């Protein structure tokens, strides 16, 4: 019987680097480099030909970086290679991440024709001064134009990313961002709180650090997000993700439920055949390696996939996921969802009752009101989500 897999495609290019960003992305690369990179991606996809026939693809996520910097011909090329190699489920969710200002009508039509059926637009804030401070290239009007153009091109599944806890952000400006986004009625909203990452310009800017709202304000923004989005008809289905009924992101659900996925491209991570592995992070080494190789995985087994000559060079890390690590991940990732984890799913996967492994921790947190056991489901309460870092760490088996 065929199994399900999801695919992630990494596009590591941005028009400019935002000041808070530590994602694997570069600005200022030439169009020639982008072309070579896309050819390399296609080569990497092709490497999976012998294993692909065992699988049906249920979601694809083209992320970055700013994938929408690539014109429709390049995205069409990537999608053609995926279709040539893998079988896609009929309702396969296919997302592309986009920044306002990069979406033109022709490009959107091309994406649609290539099979993309979900767009994730990074707005972050509706306040132009704030966008400038973040180092974002676009303004709010460009978001409006991009959103409308996506709808006109027929996209019926759109996510908008917003951020709270930004330097200088007030409750008033944050509420204004949410209200403006709600006016567009996207199917999905991701609402993250800014994290200051080491090595970014923000981390080394004392004025920025001083202007980050105090925890009390950040906390109020978090409560406001929940309240306003619930009132707008969005269900919170994960700590930071809200969707209209039926529009939960299938691709992210695969990550949170321990499903298999293959990542293509620079730095991309995979969880496949019981192993977690990630690709090298140097772009020209990646391109050179893929340009050199014409080999496929002639016959498949785990050793072949991970340790033939090409793939050994391609991988930056490979971790075999033994049963303890898989149980830990099942809990860490599953408890991020509002519906939590399923007791019967745990038993089916690990041939043990969840209480046999985690009984004392579950009893401790349910007694204290941080978790609820409701029939088959076990999930965090609001109080539990507030201290989720501490709770989730308690599910480590090797403490």
Q: Rule CB under 6 A: which residues touch ligand SF4?
A: 14, 17-18, 21, 23, 25, 64-66, 99, 122
Q: How many Cβ atoms from other residues are within 10 Å of residue 13's Cβ?
A: 20
Quote the least distance from Cβ 121 to ligand SF4, whole Å: 11
Quote the least distance from Cβ 262 to ligand SF4, whole Å: 21
Burial pattern 199-231, b for ≥16 Cβ within 10 A else e, equals ebebeeeeebeeebbeeebbeebbebbeebbee
Distance separating alpha carbons of residues 16 and 28, to the nearest angstrom: 7
Nearer to ligand SF4, 201 or 359 (CB): 201
Nearer to ligand SF4, 136 or 336 (CB): 136
Distance separating alpha carbons of residues 317 and 261, to the nearest angstrom: 16
> Could you tell me how many residues make up the chain?
399
Q: Which residues are CB-neighbours of 351 under 8 A, at least 6 positions away?
A: none
Q: Which residues are CB-neighbours of 51 under 8 A, at least 6 positions away?
A: 297, 300, 305
Nearer to ligand SF4, 163 or 262 (CB): 163
Question: Which of 320, 10, 20 has its CA nearest to residue 165?
Answer: 20
Nearer to ligand SF4, 195 or 368 (CB): 195
Q: H or E element: which one contains 230?
A: helix 215-231
Quote the least distance from Cβ 268 to ligand SF4, whole Å: 14
The helix-helix angle for 105-113 and 140-152 (nearest 10°) equals 40
Nearer to ligand SF4, 19 or 326 (CB): 19
Nearer to ligand SF4, 21 or 62 (CB): 21
Quote the least distance from Cβ 294 to ligand SF4, whole Å: 32
Quote the least distance from Cβ 76 to ligand SF4, whole Å: 22
Quote the least distance from Cβ 395 to ligand SF4, whole Å: 30
């Amino acid at each position: 019987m065929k199994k399900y897999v999801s695919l992630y495609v990494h596009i590591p290019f941005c028009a400019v680097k935002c000041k808070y960003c530590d994602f694997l992305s570069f600005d200022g690369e030439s169009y020639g480099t982008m072309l070579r990179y896309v050819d390399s991606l296609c080569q990497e996809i092709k490497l999976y030909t012998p294993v692909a026939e065992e699988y049906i693809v249920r979601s694809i996520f083209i992320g970055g970086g700013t994938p929408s910097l690539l014109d429709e011909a390049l995205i069409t090329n990537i999608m053609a290679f995926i279709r040539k190699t893998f079988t896609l489920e009929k309702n396969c969710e296919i997302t592309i991440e986009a920044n306002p200002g990069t979406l033109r009508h022709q490009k959107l039509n091309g994406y649609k024709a290539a099979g993309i059926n979900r767009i994730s637009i990074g707005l972050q804030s509706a306040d132009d001064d704030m966008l400038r401070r973040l180092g974002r290239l676009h303004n709010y009007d460009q978001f409006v134009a991009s959103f409308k153009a996506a709808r006109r091109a027929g996209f019926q599944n759109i996510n908008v990313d917003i951020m709270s806890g930004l330097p200088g952000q007030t409750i008033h400006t944050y509420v204004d961002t949410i209200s403006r986004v709600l006016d567009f009625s996207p199917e999905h909203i991701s609402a993250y709180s800014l994290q200051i990452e080491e090595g970014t310009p923000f981390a080394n800017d004392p004025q920025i650090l001083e202007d980050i709202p105090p925890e009390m304000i950040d906390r109020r923004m978090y409560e406001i997000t929940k309240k306003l989005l619930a009132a707008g008809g969005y269900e919170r289905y994960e700590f930071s993700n809200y969707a209209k009924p039926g529009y939960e992101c299938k691709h992210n659900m695969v990550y949170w439920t321990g499903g298999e996925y293959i990542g293509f491209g620079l730095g991309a991570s995979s969880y496949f055949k019981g192993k977690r592995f990630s690709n090298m992070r140097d772009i020209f080494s990646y391109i050179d390696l893929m340009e050199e190789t014409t080999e496929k995985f002639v016959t498949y087994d785990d050793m072949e996939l991970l340790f033939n000559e090409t793939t050994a060079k391609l991988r930056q890390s490979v971790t075999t996921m033994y049963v303890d690590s898989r149980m830990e991940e099942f809990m860490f990732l599953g408890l991020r969802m509002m519906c939590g984890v399923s007791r019967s799913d745990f038993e089916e996967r690990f041939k043990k009752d969840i209480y046999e492994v985690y009984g004392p921790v579950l009893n401790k947190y349910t007694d204290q009101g941080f978790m609820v056991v409701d029939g088959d489901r076990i999930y965090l309460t609001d109080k539990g989500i507030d201290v989720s870092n501490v709770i989730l760490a308690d599910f480590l088996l090797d403490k």
